[in-house]
Amino acid sequence: MASLNKLTISQAREGLKNRDFTSVALVEACLTQISSYDKKIKAFITLCADKALELAKKADLEISQASYKKPLLGIPYVCKDNFSTRGIQTTAGSNILKGYIPPFESTVTRKLENAGAILLGKTNMDAFAHGSSTETSDFFKTTNPWDYSRVPGGSSGGSAAAVSADMCIFGIGSETAGSVRGPAAWCGITGLKPTYGRVSRYGVVAMASSTDSPGPLTKTVEDAAIVLGVIAGGDPFDATSSPLAVEDYVAKMESFSLKGLKVGRPASYFDIGMEAGYKKTVEDSLAVFTELGAEVVDIDLMNPKYSIAVYTILQRSEVSSNLARLTGVRYGNARGTFGREAKRRMMLGAYALSAGYYEAYYSKAQRVRTMLIDDLNEAFEKVDLIVGPTMPGIALKLGESEKFSAFGEMMDVLVEQSSIAGITGISVPCGLHQNLPVGLNIMAPMFAEAKLLGAAHEFEKSTKFNLERPILE
Amino acid sequence: MSLTKYKLVLGLEIHLHPKINKKMFCYCSSDIWGKEPNTLTCPVCLGLPGALPVPNREAVEKTQLLGMALKCEINQKSRFDRKHYFYPDLPKGYQISQYKQPLCVGGSLKLDNGFVVELDRIHLEEDVAKSFHVNSQTLIDFNKSGVALIEMVTKPVFTNVTDAVDFCKKVQNIIRFLEIGDVDMEKGQLRLEANVSVRTEEMENANELAPYKVEIKNINSFKFLEKAVNAEFERQVEVFTSGEIPKQENRGFNEATGKTVTQRDKEEAHDYRYFPEPDIPPMEFDDDYLAGITSQLRELPDEAVSRYESMGISLATARTIVNNFGLDTVILFDQALKKGLDPIKSANFLVNKKEIIEAAAKGSEHLYSMLEQLIKGNSDNLDEEKLAGVIDQVLEMNPKAVGDYKKGNTNSISFLVGQVMKETKGGADPMVVRKKIEGKL
């Protein structure tokens, strides 16, 4: 058997159930991996080793005593540091919240706790999720397990790197536009961005309220389906959460077939000047859908550059408002500790919302947002799914992003439209280019997670690109 | 220049706490009066990172109900907006309020003197925390943070403060009749703001407004409203007289000096950077829903007055029962009427007998039996002849009051009427008594 820390959720569940190993052993294996490699990868802001072992002991007792129903009992995970965890420091990667210990639990981590999952630690991220490389963390830079000289992507880079490096069984991130799918693609794992409102935002330090979507980072599509089943659902503490019933994603995924479905290939998503070899890797993976019985058809979507413009205005505006509470008066540190990127975004957002500019910027952006949503809805009348590359290229070298002031938006160009529209999408590994992972972004209409996961699962089963893992040094 | 050349222009903002169990956007209790500071708080009303607002349905319903009572248009689509400013009592750095699509727009209310007060809007928002300035420190109690606040804004239609006070009292009574709120001013459940400006007679005739307004904040009694507006009017006239135009600003009323004083601005430039609250989906109300709210509309105070008038009760008496005594008395009075008591006599007992009100507080049965007793005990005696005898007796026993009246002090007649009412144990109609006394003197 592989080292315990390398297991997927379904494998770990099976092993725990059969008493092949204990939760304590599982947690210890992860902690060992962390202590071996986190010096280089630097995925963690806070490690909860003692508490995790304590919870693992309790889980083992529960497993040994009776038939248990908790779907994630004894399974260790990591969580992006913007999810409020009662009694555990929650920084959102920022100095201003360094030392801030929330008195309440986010809905996602509470649901995971109720499902028996064990929190190993809180992971690094771009401060306030303002970035796509995890380099703008106020604390330190996380590296890509495939190549330590490269970034893991962001903003959920810590969680993605930890999953990729087998420091945990699964991870939790949050996506505003690419923050789950992006790092999943660059770290060679699976990243699911659920439909906006499918997973509660309560307790997640807000970035852009109208697009934030918590989502799982996993080693397989099945694992993503398992975690989504636990964290999804309406929440009386989040007015934007959907009361729609949560489906049995795993069962639906297993009975799903791509046969006869139409998969849309938006030309504009492939004509953004990608490097030839990289583009070919993505194009080749489209053939898999044809092999599996689907029809791949060309579709027109608006040039993704419009999504960048809309997203930049709306997101900055919401950021300027959401960060206004961080005054340092009652909790956290003084406002002088805000990082450069946060300050830049707040100024831009406050400008866009100010009297006289509101119509020209925010109001206009909202109107274009409606156009982008209509654009996708029209496309989904013709096709069941839309596929494209997750990122415009392979993981960048550390420091490269500093050349661009809107670096994040340029990297997130291919996922922003889906984020703005609130639809669901998943990045799955679709091969390697220059020995680095490439991600395929599959998108489906709002609340069509079952279909999305089904398609991604079939793709994964057929290609097994998910088994390509980094060799850690 | 004389004061009469200048005319007052006054608009009101009325803030009230609707009576609901929870706060506006969280599940904390809204029963904050007299509670230990900072004991009714949660991550939402403390503005902790990641906490989200969930709007209270009941607060929305009560706002719409008030809008319907005041003939507002109820928007079928409404939403919340964020209003940004920095102040220690505002934990999120913005207040969740309504800007572009308030729950209710327009509306009007007719005062007893016939003047129609036009409304601009009624919207829903959250209250801020309470600051205490102790020595050189500022302490903040977050119990009030996030309590639902209904804001009613009138158009700048008042030309005298008396109408404004009448309007406030009328609104207060409507709110109590519909059980939208207790609106106890001493508990801060009803707060007023006055927008005051001054114009010339010519401007008034041309229906022109001054190019500025001064906002007097946080007025917590009708008496202070009157005093503050009068003081501010005089101040602005003085500014005009000295050849200047008053500047647009926020002022507060200093109860000790009886003058308004300029307040330090919350923000140097007022740009609230409003935008739609992304944490709360826009609201849409269908016809069925709105019909449900309409069905909660009850008889309004003025309608109760008309009903009593149609029973033969004098307008003044009916208004006293409805406006001064309020909903509880109206309910009990109606119960007594249902049991067959004479409306006019019962009404007269009510307005003349303070103990009736005390009885009302003890419950309807008690009130009913008391009314019944009084009517039985007095109705026999109260024929015209007896009443004339009582009046003669009272006049005879109060030569000083009679003398005062004859010297021109008409106020003394009220005293004489009161004496007659006392002698007849409230069995007479005070208006009739007054007329009779006037006739005799």
Instruction: Provide the 8-state DSSP code for B172.
Output: H
- How much is the pLDDT for B218? 87
- For residues B319 and B302, the answer to whether their CB atoms sit within 8 Å is no
What's the gap in Å between the CA of A250 and the closest CA on chain B? 30
Which chain A residues are Cβ-neighbours of B278 within 8 angstroms?
Answer: 208-210, 240, 318
Which chain B residues are Cβ-neighbours of A201 within 8 angstroms?
Answer: 50, 52
Give the mean model confidence (pLDDT) for residues A391-398. 94
- How much is the pLDDT for B405? 85
**Smallest Cα–Cα separation from A162: which of A214, A212, A216?**
A216
- For residues B368 and B336, the answer to whether their CB atoms sit within 8 Å is yes
**Smallest Cα–Cα separation from B218: which of B254, B258, B249, B259?**
B254
Inter-chain residue contact B52 with A97, CB threshold 8 Å: no
**Smallest Cα–Cα separation from B8: which of B258, B233, B324, B239?**
B233
Q: Which of A34-48, A71-85, B316-330 has the lowest mean pLDDT?
A: B316-330
Give the mean model confidence (pLDDT) for residues A405-426. 83
Q: Distance between CA atoms of B146 and B148, rounded to whole angstroms?
A: 6
pTM (two decimals): 0.89
Q: Is the pLDDT at A451 greater than 60, yes or no?
A: yes
**Smallest Cα–Cα separation from A95: which of A304, A339, A297, A318?**
A339
The angle formed by the CA atoms of residues A259, A263 and A269, to the nearest 5 degrees, is 160
Which chain B residues are Cβ-neighbours of A317 within 8 angstroms?
Answer: 275
Inter-chain residue contact B82 with A321, CB threshold 8 Å: yes
- How much is the pLDDT for B1? 42
Q: Which residues of B touch A (CB under 8 A)?
A: 42-44, 46-55, 82, 84, 86, 88, 91-94, 271, 273-275, 278-281
Strand ranges in A9-58 using DSSP code E only, listed in sequence order: 44-47
The angle formed by the CA atoms of residues A128, A134 and A136, to the nearest 5 degrees, is 60
Per the listing, tokens 């904050």 go with B32
Q: Which of A5-14, A352-361, A422-431 has the lowest mean pLDDT?
A: A352-361
Cβ pairs bridging A and B (under 8 Å): 98
Residue B114, exposed/middle/buried by CB under 10 A (0-12, 13-18, 19+)?
exposed
- How much is the pLDDT for B266? 47
Which chain B residues are Cβ-neighbours of A208 within 8 angstroms?
Answer: 278
Report percent pLDDT > 70 for chain A.
98
Instruction: Provide the 8-state DSSP code for B407.
Output: T
Inter-chain residue contact B273 with A331, CB threshold 8 Å: no
Inter-chain residue contact B278 with A238, CB threshold 8 Å: no
Per the listing, tokens 């996380």 go with A142
- Using a CB–CB cutoff of 8 Å, tell me whether A317 touches chain B: yes
- How much is the pLDDT for A219? 98
Per the listing, tokens 């220059």 go with A434
Inter-chain residue contact B94 with A83, CB threshold 8 Å: no
* All residues at 6 or more sequence positions from A216 whose CB lies less than 8 Å from its CB, including other chains: A170, A171, A172, A173, A180, A190, A191, A192, A223, A224, A227, A228, A231
- Of residues A205, A321, A358, nearest to B84 (C-beta): A321
- How much is the pLDDT for B267? 44
Which chain B residues are Cβ-neighbours of A236 within 8 angstroms?
Answer: 54
Structure token digits, residue B385: 């002849």
Which amino acid is present at A23?
Answer: S
Which chain B residues are Cβ-neighbours of A329 within 8 angstroms?
Answer: 88
**Smallest Cα–Cα separation from A222: which of A195, A202, A248, A196?**
A248
Domain ranges of chain B: 3-292, 301-440
Residues of chain B with pLDDT under 50: 1-2, 266-268, 378-381
* All residues at 6 or more sequence positions from A352 whose CB lies less than 8 Å from its CB, including other chains: A313, A316, A317, A320, A358, A361, A362, A365
Q: Is the pLDDT at A236 greater than 90, yes or no?
A: yes
Report percent pLDDT > 90 for chain A.
86
Q: What is the ipTM of this complex?
A: 0.94
Structure token digits, residue B59: 């607060």
Topology given in CATH for the domain delimited by A7-467: Amidase signature (AS) enzymes (3.90.1300)
Q: What is the CA radius of gyration of chain B?
A: 26
Q: Distance between CA atoms of B79 and B230, rounded to whole angstroms?
A: 37
List, for residues A210-223, the tens digit of each pLDDT value.
889 999 999 999 99
Higher pLDDT, A195 or A404: A195
Residue B24, exposed/middle/buried by CB under 10 A (0-12, 13-18, 19+)?
buried
Inter-chain residue contact A104 with B43, CB threshold 8 Å: yes
- Closest chain A residue by Cα to residue B140: A330
What's the gap in Å between the CA of A230 and the closest CA on chain B? 20
Q: Which are the catalytic amino acids of A? A: 80, 155, 179
Give the mean model confidence (pLDDT) for residues A26-31. 98
- For residues B17 and B149, the answer to whether their CB atoms sit within 8 Å is yes
Structure token digits, residue A18: 């059969």
Per the listing, tokens 């033969």 go with B312
- How much is the pLDDT for B268? 47
B interface mutation test: which of A90, A199, A330, A446 has the most B CBs within 10 A? Answer: A330
Inter-chain residue contact B54 with A239, CB threshold 8 Å: yes
